[in-house]
Amino acid sequence: MSTMTAGPAESTLAAADFDTLAGGLTEPEAIAGARAAAWERFTALPWPTKKSEEWRYTDLTKVGFGALTPVVPAPATAEALPADVREVLGRSGERAGVVVLREGRVAHLELEPEVARSGVVLCSIRDAAERHPEVLRRALLEAQPGPAEEKLWALHLALLGGGYFLHVPRGVEMPAPIHAFHFVERAGTVSSTHSFVSGESGARVAVIDEFLSDDLEAETVSLHGATITGEGGAGIEYVALQRFGRGVKRFSTQHVAAGRDSRIVTFNVTLGGDLSRADVTSRLDGPGSSSEMLALWFGDSDQHFDHHTLQHHAAPHAHSDLLFKGALTDAGSSVFRGLIRVDKGAQLTDAYQTNRNLLLSEGSHASALPNLEIEADDVRCSHGATIGQVEDGQLFYLMSRGLTRRQAERLLVFGFFDEVLGRLPMEGVRARVREAIEEKIGL
C-alpha cells in the first residue's frame, strides 16, 4: 500500500527537464513514445513511503531525487574505456562479447564474430527498437512491476537513454559469457540503464552485468532494469555484480519470465554504493520451468542493502529455489523480504526460499521477512531465515593458525558464501564474482 505524499523529487525533477532531455535526443519513435508515457506515469504516481511494507526499511524521502540532474547522455564519442573496466577486461577469462555503458548509454560494444554469425544479436536498445521492435515491446510489456516498484520503474523508463539488448536464437549455445559494464561517472545525477536478455528455445547464455563507479562526492542515483526471458528449454545465467563506489544509491528492478522447461539462474552480488535496492521477480510461466535465485552481499561502513523478491508460480510443475546470503560488519544493514506466490492452477509446484545472515559487528543489523502465499493445494514449499554470528570455536581455530581476528572473520565469510558461489554453473562467471568479492572483503 502506498500512501500519497509529495516526495522531494517533484519539485525539481520537472517536466521541463524531461522535455529538454527528450529534445536533445534523436531516438526511434517507439522509445520516445514509451519514455514520454513513462514520464507521465512517474509524475502521476505518489512516492512510496515507509508506511508501505515494501519500503518500511528503506526511506526514499532520504534520497535527494530533487537535487539530482537527470541524465540521458548524448550518443557516446569514442572515448577511452574507464580504467577500471580496462583493468577487468585485461585479466584472463573467456568472453563472447563485451558491452560498456556510460550512464546507461552504450559506449563500446563487441561480439565474437563466430557468435554473431550464429545469429546472436548484441546491440543497444535504441538499435533494437528499430531492428527488433516486437521482441522489445513484448518484453517491456511483460515486465509489469508491482505497485511498490511502479514509481521508480516509471522513472527508470522515462530516463532510459540506452541499455543493451541481447538475443540468442533457437538452439544456440554460447561458449562464454557476455560481460557488460554499467559505468556511472557523473556525480549528482540520476541516470538509468537496462539489460535486456532473451533466449529462444534451447538457447544457452550467461551474462555478467557489472555496475561500477569511482567514489563520488555528491549523491548520485543509478536506476537499473533487467528483463530476462527464456523460452522453451532455454538456459540463462544472469549475474548482477554491483560494486559502485560510495555516494551512489542504486535501484534495480529485475524481471524474469521462465517459459516451458527453461532453466534460469539470477545472481545478485551487492558490494558497493551507499544504498542498494534490488527487486527481483521470477515468474514461472511454463510448466517444467525452473528458476534459481541467488544473492550474496557484504556490507560495511553504513551501507544499506535491501532485497525484495517474488517467486511467482503461474504454471504447474515448476521449480524455484532462492538462496540469499549476506554478511555485515561496522554499521552495515540489510533487508530481505521475499514472497513465494503460488497461483491456483500451479499444482505440483516446488518452491524454496532461504535467507541467511552473518553479523560480524555489534552495530550491524539484518532484517529477514520470508513469506508464502499459496492458492494451490498440491505443492511443496518451504521458507526459512537465520541471523547469526561467527562461531567462537571456528574463530579460535583459525586464529590459532596465525590469522588475525579480522582475517579469520573474513575467511569465515568466504566459507559462508561458498555454497552460493558453487551454484553458478559457468566457471568463468564464478571466477569473476569470487574475485570481486575477494576485492571487497579483503584478507
Partner 1 sequence: MSEPLLSIRGLRAKVEGEDGEILRGVDLDLERGEVHALMGPNGSGKSTLAKVIAGHPAYEVTAGEILFEGEDVLELEPDERSRAGIFLAFQYPAEIPGVSIANFLRTAVNSRLDEGEEMDVFGFQRTLTEKMEMLKMDPGFATRYVNDGFSGGEKKRNEILQMAVLRPALGVLDETDSGLDIDALKVVARGVNRLSEADEALGVLLITHYKRILNYIQPDVVHVMMAGRIAESGGASLADKLEAEGYDWLQQPATV
Query: Which residues make up the interface to partner 1 (CB under 8 A)?
Result: 391-394, 396-405, 407-408, 411-412, 414-419, 443
- Nine cell digits for residue 249: 544509491
**Closer to partner 1 by Cβ: residue 29 or 391:** 391
How near is the Cβ of 412 to partner 1 at its closest, in Å? 7
- Give the shortest CB-298-to-partner 1 separation in angstroms: 14
Three-state secondary structure call for residue 271: coil
User: Least distance (Å) from partner 1 to the CB of residue 326?
Assistant: 15
Q: Which is nearer to partner 1, 131 or 405 (CB)?
A: 405
Cβ closer to partner 1: 39 or 297?
297
Residue 266 sits at φ, ψ, to 5 deg, of: -115, 145
Q: How far is the CB of 392 from partner 1 (least distance, A)?
A: 7
For partner 1, the closer of residues 374 and 414 by Cβ is 414
Pick between residue 314 and residue 398 the one whose CB is nearest to partner 1. Answer: 398
Q: CA 204, CA 214: separation in Å to the nearest integer?
A: 33
Q: Which is nearer to partner 1, 378 or 419 (CB)?
A: 419
Q: Please, what is the minimum distance in Å from the beta carbon of residue 395 to partner 1?
A: 9
Q: How far is CA 97 from the centre of its chain?
A: 20
CB of residue 435 to partner 1, shortest distance in Å: 14
- Helix (H) or strand (E) holding 181, with range, is strand 178-184
Longest CA span, the chain = 66
CB 164, CB 196: distance < 8 Å: yes
Element of type H or E holding 52: none
Sequence-distant (6+) residues with CB within 8 A of 257 are 142, 227, 228, 229, 230, 283, 285
CB-based burial label for 114 (10 Å; 0-12, 13-18, 19+): exposed
Instruction: Tell me how far, at minimum, the Cβ of 420 lies from partner 1, in Å.
Output: 10
Cell numbers at residue 232, please?
Answer: 522453451
Closer to partner 1 by Cβ: residue 298 or 416: 416
Cβ–Cβ under 8 Å, residues 239 and 207:
yes
Closest CA to 289 of 320, 267, 268, 310: 320
Left, alpha or beta for 177 (phi > 0: left; psi -120 to 50: alpha)? beta
